[in-house]
Amino acid sequence: MKEIKAFIRPELLEDVLEPLYAHPEFPGLTISTAHGFGHIAGREDTSDFGKVPMIKLETIVPDALLDEVLTLIRERASTGRRGDGKIAVYNVETAIRISTGEAIEK
């Protein structure tokens, strides 16, 4: 299993969510608002430190879905401009469903 964290532009949230929600095997995700900054070459104005709004998406997916979900997020969240965001992928050893205590299958 893999954990995906994606930081995307707020105005592209619906474009990313629609196909994920429609995917029959996609397990779900958490959506959070976030603020931060990136180092953009040539930027001299420091007044935006920590103020750039982003949306953080977090999900845990089976290995078999990883490439498809990454492609979907990247294609739907990209404007081709700096500041589109980032996607990070982490290995997940164990995930447990709190309500039942059962381990979630890889």
Model confidence over 10-46: pLDDT tens digits? 999 999 999 999 999 999 999 999 988 777 655 566 6
Structure tokens at 20: 């994920």
Give the percent of the chain with pLDDT over 70.
88
pLDDT, averaged across the chain: 90
Region 72-101: mean pLDDT is 94
Q: Is the pTM of the predicted complex or chain greater than 0.95? A: no
* pLDDT range class, residue 63, cuts 50, 70, 90: very high
CATH 3.30.70.120 assigned to domain 2-91? The reply is yes
Beta bridge partner(s), residue 32: 56
Region 63-79: mean pLDDT is 97
E strands in the chain: 2-8, 30-36, 52-61, 85-91
Domain ranges of the chain: 2-91
Give the percent of the chain with pLDDT over 90.
75
CA 58/CA 92 separation, integer angstroms:
13
Longest dimension (CA), the chain: 52
Amino acid at 29: L
| 3-state class (DSSP) for residue 78 | coil
* pLDDT range class, residue 82, cuts 50, 70, 90: confident
